Amino acid sequence: MKIAIIGSGYVGLVTGACLADIGHDVTCIDIDEEKIAMLVSGQIPFYEPGLEALVMKTSAENTLKFSTDVATGVKGAEIIFIAVGTPPRRSDGHVDISAVYSAARQVSKSADKSALIVSKSTVPVGTSDEIERIIREESPHARVSIASNPEFLREGCAIADFQQPDRIIIGVAEDNARRVMSKLYQPLAAKGVPVLFTSRRDAELIKYAANAFLAVKITFINEIADLCEATGADVAFVSKGIGLDSRIGSKFLQAGPGFGGSCFPKDTTALVKTAQDFGRPLRLIETTVSVNDQRKRNMARKIIAACGGSVRKKTIAILGLTFKPNTDDLRGAPSLDIISALQDQGAIIQVFDPKGMDIAKTLLSDVTFSRDPYDAAHKADAVVIVTEWDIFCKMDLGKLRAAMSGDTLVDLRNIFSAADATRAGLQLTGLGRQIPLATAKATRVAA
């Protein structure tokens, strides 16, 4: 099938390359001329494992093409995906869907009269209806139909998520859209991937509800980790113990510095706003958002406490800047809040991230960018692990300690055990497991 994708970012490019790989004829379009020039010359504008090889392969086979021109890109396309960004609006936390509407207007002028326009961007419930209204207004005689096909891929494993998703959600308003989308995903459905057809509003809300549920789960275990610290329990065992219950499941139960990324923070906030607009406030999600925001600030306090109550003029090495491993995405990353809070308290910051350094250089000031984790730890009073990149999990703690001037290791991903740290001469602070039982009991009695 001939497919056009408006927006060639993490979602648009991955979707385009994967659809081209299953035999469709795809054109990825973007208004960012530099991005398209890079893609045309074989360079990938961001890091996603396996994507470069897939783009090379499908480009060589001529099933994946690139364009900056919507009019030529959408010509003859049976399906036109809108996969542009939907960032939070600075003024009120609502999602900014102006790029979606702008793409819809552009498409309405040049799409084939019977094209199916599919929103892949994460958009508030009712947006597909508005896209339809815009298109009918701009092009009253068009027979185009609109569908919603929210994306659930995770950065870092986006290609596998596209090729073997847990499910494909498609919101449609009429049979033709259903037929066209069934044909598109037939190669995946044939492999047993569940395809759920819903109304467009259902599909739009499923995306937000899924992300909100996962954000609640993360926040739940983070709060349980805090309780573990106060009571002398170990969150690793508590998490394992509850995760073995099949009704709960073990995923998303690892304590950490708070959720970040380009999706969870903005999608939870947007859902809260939508619910308020509809007069059905979601108290659980409102609390999740504020607990998570607070948690990032608390992480800086935890680091300061581990450094003896002050970080003024102390050198702190931050290992991991991206919001999760295997991506170069720093949007909403906890590292940014932690670094800025530590700098406010007078800390000198040295950082290292395997893939996020180039983007970090555009976002961080007054930090030293290092070559590797040991270089970042050079003469540092404390090392803080923020993101669980594999290279940090495999670090030689003895070598790390030898590079440092202090002996404080703050492990916000619970990679290392106290025994690992002690062997290397490091004082470890983790999450949900470090206060000895005797201290916890004393605290409780005193309280």
Give the residue numbers marked as catalytic. Answer: 263
Smallest separation, CB 124 to ligand NAD (Å): 11
Q: Which of 22, 25, 75, 102 binds ligand NAD (CB under 6 A)?
A: 102
Cβ neighbours for 215, distance < 8 A, ≥ 6 positions apart: 259, 264, 267, 268, 285, 288, 289, 292
Q: Which of 3, 5, 12, 260 binds ligand NAD (CB under 6 A)?
A: 12
Closest by CA position to 83, among listed 54, 52, 112, 117: 117
Per the CB < 8 A criterion, the answer to whether 408 and 198 are in contact is no
**Judged by CB under 6 A, does residue 314 bind ligand NAD?**
no
Of 7-15, 286-294, 299-307, 332-340: span binding ligand NAD (CB under 6 A): 7-15
DSSP 11-42: HHHHHHHHHHHTT-EEEEE-S-HHHHHHHHTT
Smallest separation, CB 330 to ligand NAD (Å): 12
**Judged by CB under 6 A, does residue 8 bind ligand NAD?**
yes
**Judged by CB under 6 A, does residue 85 bind ligand NAD?**
yes
Q: Evaluate the CA torsion angle 189, 19, 265, 100 in order and state its sign.
A: negative
Q: Which of 3, 5, 145, 155 binds ligand NAD (CB under 6 A)?
A: 155
Closest by CA position to 259, among listed 362, 150, 96, 386: 386
Per the CB < 8 A criterion, the answer to whether 440 and 231 are in contact is yes
Of 23-31, 108-116, 167-175, 410-418: span binding ligand NAD (CB under 6 A): 23-31
For ligand NAD, which is the closer residue by CB, 224 or 363? 363
Smallest separation, CB 153 to ligand NAD (Å): 5
Per the CB < 8 A criterion, the answer to whether 212 and 288 are in contact is yes
Q: Which residue is nearest to ligand NAD (CB)?
A: 9
Distance between CA 244 and CA 434 in Å, rounded? 23
**Judged by CB under 6 A, does residue 9 bind ligand NAD?**
yes
Smallest separation, CB 48 to ligand NAD (Å): 9
Distance between CA 350 and CA 366 in Å, rounded? 9
Q: Which of 262, 274, 335, 429 binds ligand NAD (CB under 6 A)?
A: 262
Of 96-104, 301-309, 316-324, 344-352: span binding ligand NAD (CB under 6 A): 96-104
For ligand NAD, which is the closer residue by CB, 102 or 186? 102
Query: Quick one: tokens of 68?
Result: 């900056």
**Judged by CB under 6 A, does residue 7 bind ligand NAD?**
yes
Smallest separation, CB 275 to ligand NAD (Å): 18
Smallest separation, CB 46 to ligand NAD (Å): 7
Pairing of strands 315-319, 116-119: unpaired
Adjacency order of strands within the sheet including 315-319: 367-369, 348-352, 315-319, 382-385, 408-411, 427-429
Q: Is 231 helix (H, G, I), strand (E, B) or coil?
A: helix
**Judged by CB under 6 A, does residue 269 bind ligand NAD?**
no
For ligand NAD, which is the closer residue by CB, 169 or 349? 169
Of 101-109, 178-186, 312-320, 380-388: span binding ligand NAD (CB under 6 A): 101-109
Q: Evaluate the CA torsion angle 417, 418, 421, 422 in order and state its sign.
A: negative
Helices (H), 194-330: 200-231, 235-243, 264-277, 283-306
Smallest separation, CB 82 to ligand NAD (Å): 8
CA diameter of the chain: 76
Site map (CB under 6 A) of ligand NAD, residues 24-63, x = contact: -----xxxx--x----------------------------
**Judged by CB under 6 A, does residue 125 bind ligand NAD?**
no
Say which residue the tokens 């030898």 belong to. 402
**Judged by CB under 6 A, does residue 122 bind ligand NAD?**
yes
Say which residue the tokens 């070598």 belong to. 399
Which residues of this chain interact with ligand NAD, rule CB under 6 A? 6-12, 29-32, 35, 83-86, 99, 102-103, 106, 121-122, 151, 153, 155, 262-263
